[in-house]
């Protein structure tokens, strides 16, 4: 039981290291908290009292005491992460880009534009490519594709004009956008007041 757990006897070096870490202003909050657990335990306080003093769960206190007892100061460090994010072959990256630049309706899908969630579902299910939406977003940014938040569609590669890889439907869409449309249209209805111009 965690309630009966006690910290082992600390060496002088460990005592000094724990004292410095528990009062450190540069170490992470997690490391400081773990050092305080060990420091309080070395004073003879039981797990329940330490948990109450630091406002944490008794199981958490017990976990760090066990790790310190087993590995010393190294046991208070964060566990290593599970590894690098998955990498994809050029062919797989090409499949992501090609899908993003293809009209979904040409692929037999029941919608007219992509979102990252739709791309993820299509690539996972139809292409058999296990990839998350966050990774799709990263790959598209690396390839110079920007996401049009208002139109939920991918535009031209950043800084190089219309993409040669864009589908005809996308290039047609690009041509149809009139930058002076709002001015030519006038007020949206007869009751909309024109805003006065501010002369700087």
Quote the CA–CA distance of 101 and 165 in Å, as a whole number. Answer: 7
Name the pLDDT band for 164 (thresholds 50, 70, 90): very low
Residue-level pLDDT at 3? 47
Domain boundaries, the chain: 2-76, 90-174
pLDDT 10s digits, 108-162? 888 888 888 888 889 988 888 888 888 888 888 877 776 654 344 454 444 433 3
Residue-level pLDDT at 86? 66
**76-92: average pLDDT:** 74
pLDDT 10s digits, 28-50? 888 899 999 999 999 999 999 99
Is pLDDT of 85 > 80?
no
Residue-level pLDDT at 177? 40
pLDDT 10s digits, 1-25? 344 688 999 999 999 999 999 999 8
pLDDT 10s digits, 50-82? 999 999 899 999 999 999 999 999 888 876 656
DSSP the chain: -GGG--PPPPPHHHHHHHHHHHT-SSS-HHHHHHHHHHHHHHTT--HHHHHHHHT--HHHHHHHHHHHHHHGGGGGSPPPPS-SPPP--HHHHHHHHHHHTS-GGGGT-S-SS--HHHHHHHHHHTS-----HHHHHHHHHHTTEEEETTTTEEEEETTSSS-TTS-HHHHHHHHH--TTHHHHH--SSTTPPPPPPPP-
Q: Are 24 and 58 in contact (CB under 8 A)?
A: no
Residue-level pLDDT at 133? 84
Structure tokens at 79: 């566990």
Quote the CA–CA distance of 106 and 78 in Å, as a whole number. Answer: 48
Q: Which residues of 27-49 are buried (b: 16+ CB within 10 A; e: fewer)?
A: eeeebbbbbbbbbbbbeebbbee
Q: Which residue has the higher pLDDT, 187 or 98?
A: 98
């Amino acid at each position: 039981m965690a309630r009966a757990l006690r910290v082992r006897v600390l060496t002088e070096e460990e005592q000094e290291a724990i004292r410095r870490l528990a009062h450190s202003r540069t170490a992470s909050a997690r490391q400081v908290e773990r050092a305080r657990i060990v420091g309080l335990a070395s004073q003879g306080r039981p797990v329940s009292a330490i948990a109450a003093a630091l406002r944490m769960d008794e199981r958490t206190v017990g976990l760090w005491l066990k790790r310190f007892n087993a590995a010393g100061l190294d046991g208070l460090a964060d566990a290593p992460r599970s590894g690098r994010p998955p990498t994809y072959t050029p062919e797989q990256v090409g499949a992501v880009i090609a899908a993003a630049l293809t009209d979904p309706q040409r692929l037999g899908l029941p919608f007219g534009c992509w979102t990252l969630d739709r791309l993820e579902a299509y690539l996972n299910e139809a292409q058999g490519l296990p990839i998350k939406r966050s990774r799709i977003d990263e790959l598209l940014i690396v390839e110079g594709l920007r996401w049009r938040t208002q139109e939920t569609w991918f535009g031209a590669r950043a800084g190089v004009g219309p993409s040669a890889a864009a589908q005809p439907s996308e290039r047609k869409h690009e041509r149809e956008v009139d930058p002076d449309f709002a001015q030519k249209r006038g007020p949206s209805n007869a009751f909309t007041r024109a805003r006065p111009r501010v002369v700087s």
